[in-house]
Structure 1
């Protein structure tokens, strides 16, 4: 069932093929460098790209732009307490601002941070503190064909091996990302979160949940974890998040807004440290780099994110998109996540080795053939890590319709038909910071 009707539209256009060819070359074969006007269906990210509800637009009008003590901030505090269960909130301009505030307060040089899988900006913020980001995914996370329900889980076995290697004193931080974006958006069970909480207690580490897609994760928990089949989404979310010492949140995902994020905690000392860093990097602690109207819209979005009708529409749309791609013969990572469909570019282009960036070759071909923009999350985005060659087609919330996804599927079918002729790429420029090189690096067709 479709849960929405449109109240505003935006005209889009598909550039001619020869223009798309020129655009690719001018962008250095990096789709981050494309103008959005030259993209027909934009699946680069679900971060801040969705459509807000009429209630959120109303909140924009009512937003309080006071520098200090804003009424909009009080509304956000109430929403975070009601939906997520945390009393102290430090707003930021977006999720990576929250990462800078929180991880800068928790990490020092030579520390080790454990995560089920670090995402790019998380890895970069940990590294920027002089610490070492170590991934602890379960083995199924690297198997695109496995149907295990919680492939996003944190591997306690791997984490304990790291403790044995470096010592507990060197690990002040344990992070669990839900859903696990860098592991194809896979779900994390509540039972796994409980066990990670216990592990963090054992080594006296702060336990942080990256809660960007907490509502989508709670929906999967209700579908797949026997203990919660009759539970309300809101109750599942509050329980799972409640095991953490602190949250880092990008409101541009399950906050359903175009800007904003926050840190939340019940630890008074950590709250004070985060507030001081936020003043330095983000703004006064009741606006945090956002306009008051954006703070107000996020307060509404957090409540909407745990509504059954919204989540059913959201996740069913992504599931159907993945099913259509799979039916067309594309190698789809399973099970489908809540925010994106992931394609296995290594399986699609077996003639390309990781050094030829098969995932980046795939995103270029999708743009070349149909003006579709996705993002590579394989050896180009994550150098020197052991991950599948994935391409993420992230679905903006409440934005595209069936016809858009049909176009993407038809485009992917065209790439599938010519897959043996697709050649690899090589770096033409390599920025200094490898954790985020995929945002700005340029490539070129690989010389024979």
Structure 2
């Protein structure tokens, strides 16, 4: 490496800003009132009352010049739109499955898949199911089981691939309940586990176990490009592989995939279900027509399909992925440097603060993650997301159990915020840390029967 190729300390965005939208500044008193009006559920805030929105990276990114240009090519024919074939070819370039079924977003693909494969008495293992996946499985009466490695349940454990599945536990579950298992899922990267990647070696091992047991393997592949970058930079012997080749290898180990195209495919809406099995594809298409639309649009406009096809080309850029992962690590490193405990190493799309460690005085079922998320908003207008006992504590039988980890996710939208925005987040987090011992826990005063974190009402305790 020459002197001119040495990396600089400053993380710069590999793009210029083409258009801007204003942010509305608020006072601390206004934010306290807004939080109370929203029953302390940050999902219920008006977005105009949020300064830095890190609630999710799903559909919140900025589309590129070329994506906006692609929108103008969108063909809105009901059936057989040319835009579908542009979209299908872009998907199959990276994920060479025989059938590509568009949906309006990822949870629609999950609902269709598990409506066919799920049902009472069924068991679906994964490294860690995310909230909508788990909810769609449990809605059919099936059981969702998490089999992530032990390091993946320890926020402070040092492991390059904390999203890996525990092969021994998978083999044991298949031996004990194999007749009840219709499919095995792998989430890449592992969102509920801190955006942690899965190694290719682990994915090969899972695929081997599934084939030996005669079980299909499906990927929840929302953050496939970030996972591929971690494979390239962390997995021995993979440093010379290209990102598209790593993605195709991951895809080739599975029998199908669900996708929220609002993540790595750089879309504001969209998703798909892709698979090889002809009979299963036929059943899924029939359900698609009932609820989403004709198989060549699946609930999306032709312009959306064109934008996603372009996004799939842009997300595999190494310049983009280097910036994406380094800028996430920049936030994580700064928070850890301030003594704020975070899940380490940093994941791809988000930084996860360990709320249980920071707010050790708040019991798990008084929701320390919710307490921290509310404090971040009231202090500096930052909206984040609890990933803990609010999201995962309620069991299918209605009982409560503490989640494996009590986290607050700071999900970074793609190509949306600059480094100065992130520096502001760091400063707000430092102020919240200073008041952490005085923060109250929360109780739930009203909740829906499923996915309660979206609409539940909270009240502070004491």
Answer yes or no: same fold by TM over 0.5: yes
Query: Is 2:155 the counterpart of 1:148?
Result: no
Deviation (angstroms), 1:273: 1.4
User: Retained in 1: the 8 A contact 2:365–2:402?
Assistant: no
* Residue matched to 2:455: 440
> What is the TM-score with the length of structure 1 in the denominator?
0.97
* Residue matched to 2:69: 58
Deviation (angstroms), 1:341: 0.3
- Identify which of 200, 203, 213 aligns with 2:210: 200
Counterpart CA distance in 1 for 2:402 and 2:98 is: 37
- Identify which of 403, 406, 409 aligns with 2:423: 406
Query: Is 2:180 the counterpart of 1:180?
Result: no
Counterpart CA distance in 1 for 2:280 and 2:306 is: 25
* Residue matched to 2:386: 376
* Residue matched to 2:5: none
- The correspondence of residues 308-387 of structure 1 with structure 2, limited to 5 A, is 308-383=318-393, 384=401, 386-387=403-404
User: Retained in 2: the 8 A contact 1:80–1:87?
Assistant: no
- The correspondence of residues 259-338 of structure 1 with structure 2, limited to 5 A, is 259-338=269-348
Deviation (angstroms), 1:385: 5.5
User: Retained in 2: the 8 A contact 1:209–1:244?
Assistant: yes
Deviation string 1:296-317 (CA, Å, 9 cap, x unpaired) is: 1001111211111111111111
- Identify which of 34, 37, 43 aligns with 1:32: 43
Query: Is 2:412 the counterpart of 1:395?
Result: yes
User: Retained in 1: the 8 A contact 2:442–2:460?
Assistant: yes
Counterpart CA distance in 2 for 1:297 and 1:116 is: 31
Deviation (angstroms), 1:203: 2.4
Query: What secondary structure does 1:11 align onto?
Result: coil
Deviation (angstroms), 1:407: 1.1
- Identify which of 415, 418, 431 aligns with 2:448: 431
Deviation (angstroms), 1:439: 0.6
User: Retained in 2: the 8 A contact 1:250–1:262?
Assistant: yes
* Residue matched to 1:69: 80
Query: What secondary structure does 1:286 align onto?
Result: coil
Query: Is 2:54 the counterpart of 1:43?
Result: yes
Counterpart CA distance in 2 for 1:407 and 1:386 is: 30
* Residue matched to 2:220: 210
Counterpart CA distance in 2 for 1:223 and 1:437 is: 37
Structure 1, unpaired ranges of 5+? none
Deviates more, 1:282-291 or 1:378-387: 378-387
Counterpart CA distance in 2 for 1:107 and 1:225 is: 34
- Identify which of 57, 78, 85 aligns with 2:96: 85
User: Retained in 2: the 8 A contact 1:98–1:248?
Assistant: yes
Structure 2, unpaired ranges of 5+? 1-11, 394-400
* Residue matched to 2:437: 420
Query: Is 2:241 the counterpart of 1:231?
Result: yes
User: Retained in 2: the 8 A contact 1:83–1:303?
Assistant: no
* Residue matched to 2:23: 12
User: Retained in 2: the 8 A contact 1:169–1:203?
Assistant: no
> What is the TM-score with the length of structure 2 in the denominator?
0.94
Counterpart CA distance in 2 for 1:219 and 1:21 is: 40
- RMSD of aligned Cα (Å): 1.0
Counterpart CA distance in 1 for 2:434 and 2:324 is: 30
User: Retained in 1: the 8 A contact 2:75–2:83?
Assistant: yes
User: Retained in 1: the 8 A contact 2:120–2:140?
Assistant: yes
Counterpart CA distance in 2 for 1:199 and 1:108 is: 23
Counterpart CA distance in 2 for 1:402 and 1:329 is: 21
Counterpart CA distance in 2 for 1:392 and 1:346 is: 13
Deviation (angstroms), 1:319: 1.1
Deviation (angstroms), 1:60: 0.5
Deviation (angstroms), 1:12: 0.2
